[in-house]
Structure 1
Amino acid sequence: MTGGGTPARLPRSRLRAADVLPLGLLGIRGRPARAALSGLGIAIGIACVVAVLGISASSQAGLLAQIDALGTNLLTVQPGKSLTGEAAHLPAEAPAMIARLPGVRATAHVGRVDGGVYRHDRMPAGNSGGIAILATSLSLLATLEVPVVSGSWLNAATERYPAVVLGATAARRLGVPEVRGSPRLFLAGQWFTVVGVLGPAVLDPGVDSAALVGVPVAVQRLGFDGLPTKIYERSAEQAVETVRERLPKVANPASPSEVEVSRPSDALVARAAAEAAYTGLFLGLGAVALLVGCVGIANVMVIGVLERRGEIGLRRALGATRAHVRRQFLTESVLLSVSGGTAGAVIGAVITVGYAATRNWAVVVPVDALAGGLLASLLAGALAGLYPAARAARMSPTEALRAG
């Protein structure tokens, strides 16, 4: 009481910002196993999100790096359809005519040869494993920039004799990874010796699944008609679009509408975009895991409020306001979620680095994925803690002490 009989006003209870964090850590330190398990769901969700985005970005970076290395100045010419819907043909002179175009630096061509490819002559017809026979010009390797992993490429001598070079996929299917021992294959009723094995042809996977022979031997022994089925053309970068417009008329002057011109690098860029589209599915799975983790934290926080009613009542009796109690439990929920999110971001980054290393990709861990994951965990913790914090704040000191 004061001199005038007025009761003394008690000092207002305050909770300093520096005290909020230690209060939020009380429940986590008291039950570390439960805290770790409740944060696990958040960690899994964030790890999924970061890993999916990181692997997708690394994959695209690797593919785009290949495109840059191989160039975007390669165009392919193929026969299309005639006006009656039948398969069209390119003239035998088309490769030579294209080579004379201004701006053209290199050309190569292949022609499909009828027949199968077998390890021996007792295989049933048709069981060729999808391997095509292609008669090819000698400039194919340089134009497509395909590496030789075993043996050698065709030359002016071997293109006239029964020698064959296998694409990467064809060699794997036939079980001929190298040319040691001079393995032989049965091509369209003729024996051919394997003189080389190629690496992956990034710009034209069709070469990977082919057995490549010289044009002269294909005409002499395999009944090849000499007509090209695909022509490859490399031009100066500044001349690509101009050459692209002129190719149909030059390749088939009589019927330019029956000629199809494409750029393989465009297909690779489209493939990169398609792969990116699939990440949406995995991101959805990561969001589901994040939601499950959020529910788990909310459940743990509700149980924690019930178990700590005595603590809540004591703090209220000592002057803590409802806002102080609400802030304590909300901070605890956010700390649980953010710690799980941080662990998940680290795990996702490690998964990205490990997977990219096994595929020889450039490692790309998007900063926005890490920042987004941490922000998502922060929001998840805030949402999960709203109801438990409000419930704790609503408890009266007497009821909480009696129940505790």
Structure 2
Amino acid sequence: MRARDGERARGRRVLRAARLGPRDVLHVGSAGLRSRPVRVVLSALGIAIGIATMVAVVGISSSSKAQLMRELDALGTNMLVASPGEAMFSGEKVTLPRDAAGRAGRVDGVESVGATGDLKKRSVRRSEKIPKDETGGISVRASTEGLLKVLRGRMARGSWFNTANSRYPSVVLGHVAAKRLGIVAAGQQVWLDDRYFTVIGILDPLPLAPDVERSALAGWDASKKYLGFDGHPTSVYERSTDATVNSVRKLLAASIDPENPRNVQVTDPSAALQAKAATEGAFSTLLLGLGGIALLVGGVGVANTMIISVLERRYEIGLRRSLGATRGQIRVQFVTESLMLSGLGGAAGVALGAAATAAYALSGDLPWVVPPWAMAGGFAATLAIGTVAGLYPAVRASRLSPTLALHAV
């Protein structure tokens, strides 16, 4: 009896299905892909487009945000601007004191101060032959010598005001103003009010001072002498230390106008850039949704491809089942094939998305930033979709009767 039981046990061991190793699983899973390359490419393309869209959207948004943060680091967030507010009850026009810049410079923590004064009744033109009403949106302002340092500006052409040239009819043009006037170099002249002023410099772009970019700046003393400037500044710019910017904000209005501090409005010009950086990815949500839809469509394409593959390979499935392959092994084969198909599309999509981000960053002179989580998450999403897309075809393949599958051929 024991010998007979041993023979039965040995018989059961002989009939037991062999286990598939990882190499065997990859071999049988890739067999269907190798035999139908065109279908594989077309199916993987849907996955690739969805992943490429999602990675590119995240990458472009991150690159733009990195550029904004780089600008903020260069320009600083420790600059405040004081300007006239509105009178509470009288409705009269509010002006800052003539020595507002000096008062602001006495606040603890303030490192540098500059000021501008609007000359609203003055206009600047390329020559006196141009009608006075055609200003091109360029304003005229008086400027102190310390303004450039406070704004952390740089000269694209020429030089800034100093003690000598600020007393004479000379101007410094903002970046936008120079373009509108057609001025490309220092030494040229513009018609300001009723005389020619010599352009001594052109500023580089100033993201924190767009009003200065669109202005023709004259020296403080020259504005009083030639343009009738009353000496009241309309904007006082101050730069403080990072540690004291909040305390300076609280003291600045009261220091400039102790009797009526509410008549002084204090703003932070970097707030707009900070808000833009904080909301940079808001619009990207819609594009990410579109990329997700494309990814789902690609997943449906993978599922359709796998179902057709099962129908076309019934003979192969029946033959493998008749040779001893279990239902579990058939399921593993087709799930593996689906994963490999989706993984191929995912890898291609990540590469395409990163390349698209690099092209965008290169064209706009932006830093190339693709968050690792975006690439890893995109690829993981393709594997998850590949698993889901391959489950039904795999189960259907495993339930095929070997006899019926071979008989149908």
Q: Say whether 1:112 aligns with 2:118.
A: yes
Please state how far the C-alpha of 1:57 moved relative to its aligned partner.
2.0
Aligned to 2:370, which of 365, 373, 383?
Answer: 365
Cα 1:372–1:6 shift into 2, 3 Å: closer
Partner of residue 294, structure 2: 289
Q: Say whether 1:329 aligns with 2:331.
A: no
Deviation string, structure 1 residues 350-404 (Cα, Å, up to 9, x no partner): 3333333343333322111111111111112112222222222232223322334
Provide the rounded CA distance (Å) in 2 between the counterparts of 1:334 and 1:280: 27
Cα 1:174–1:311 shift into 2, 3 Å: farther
**What's the Cα RMSD here?**
2.5
Please state how far the C-alpha of 1:58 moved relative to its aligned partner.
2.4
Please state how far the C-alpha of 1:223 moved relative to its aligned partner.
3.5
Partner of residue 88, structure 1: 94
Provide the rounded CA distance (Å) in 2 between the counterparts of 1:183 and 1:122: 16
Provide the rounded CA distance (Å) in 2 between the counterparts of 1:283 and 1:349: 15
Please state how far the C-alpha of 1:298 moved relative to its aligned partner.
1.6
Provide the rounded CA distance (Å) in 1 between the counterparts of 2:309 and 2:134: 68
> What is the correspondence of 1:51-66 to structure 2 with a 5 Å cutoff?
51-66=56-71
What SS class does the counterpart of residue 223 from structure 1 fall into? coil
Gaps of 5+ in 2: none
Q: Say whether 1:16 aligns with 2:20.
A: yes
Tell me the TM-score normalised to structure 2 length.
0.90
> What is the correspondence of 1:44-193 to structure 2 with a 5 Å cutoff?
44-84=49-89, 88-114=94-120, 115-179=122-186, 182-193=187-198
Provide the rounded CA distance (Å) in 2 between the counterparts of 1:236 and 1:40: 54
What SS class does the counterpart of residue 243 from structure 2 fall into? helix
What SS class does the counterpart of residue 202 from structure 1 fall into? coil
- Give the letter for the 2:149 counterpart: A
Q: Say whether 1:382 aligns with 2:384.
A: no
Deviation string, structure 1 residues 117-156 (Cα, Å, up to 9, x no partner): 3323344454433222221111111111111111111222
Cα 1:335–1:189 shift into 2, 3 Å: farther
Cα 1:274–1:125 shift into 2, 3 Å: farther
State the identity as a percent. 48
Please state how far the C-alpha of 1:325 moved relative to its aligned partner.
1.7
Aligned to 2:40, which of 31, 35, 41?
Answer: 35
Partner of residue 342, structure 1: 347
Partner of residue 280, structure 1: 285
Provide the rounded CA distance (Å) in 2 between the counterparts of 1:191 and 1:390: 87
What SS class does the counterpart of residue 275 from structure 1 fall into? coil
Please state how far the C-alpha of 1:86 moved relative to its aligned partner.
6.3
Provide the rounded CA distance (Å) in 2 between the counterparts of 1:310 and 1:142: 81
Provide the rounded CA distance (Å) in 2 between the counterparts of 1:81 and 1:287: 50
- Give the letter for the 2:15 counterpart: P
Provide the rounded CA distance (Å) in 1 between the counterparts of 2:253 and 2:390: 67
Gaps of 5+ in 1: none
Provide the rounded CA distance (Å) in 2 between the counterparts of 1:109 and 1:386: 70
Provide the rounded CA distance (Å) in 1 between the counterparts of 2:393 and 2:135: 67
What SS class does the counterpart of residue 295 from structure 1 fall into? helix
Cα 1:234–1:396 shift into 2, 3 Å: same
Provide the rounded CA distance (Å) in 1 between the counterparts of 2:315 and 2:92: 86
Partner of residue 248, structure 1: 253
Partner of residue 258, structure 1: 263
Aligned to 1:298, which of 300, 303, 314?
Answer: 303
Cα 1:276–1:86 shift into 2, 3 Å: farther
Q: Say whether 1:200 aligns with 2:205.
A: yes
The alignment of Structure 1 onto Structure 2 pairs a total of residues equal to 401
Please state how far the C-alpha of 1:6 moved relative to its aligned partner.
8.3
Question: Which moves more between the two structures, 337-346 or 186-195?
Answer: 186-195
Provide the rounded CA distance (Å) in 2 between the counterparts of 1:171 and 1:391: 72
What SS class does the counterpart of residue 15 from structure 2 fall into? coil
Please state how far the C-alpha of 1:203 moved relative to its aligned partner.
2.3
Please state how far the C-alpha of 1:189 moved relative to its aligned partner.
4.6
Cα 1:216–1:327 shift into 2, 3 Å: same
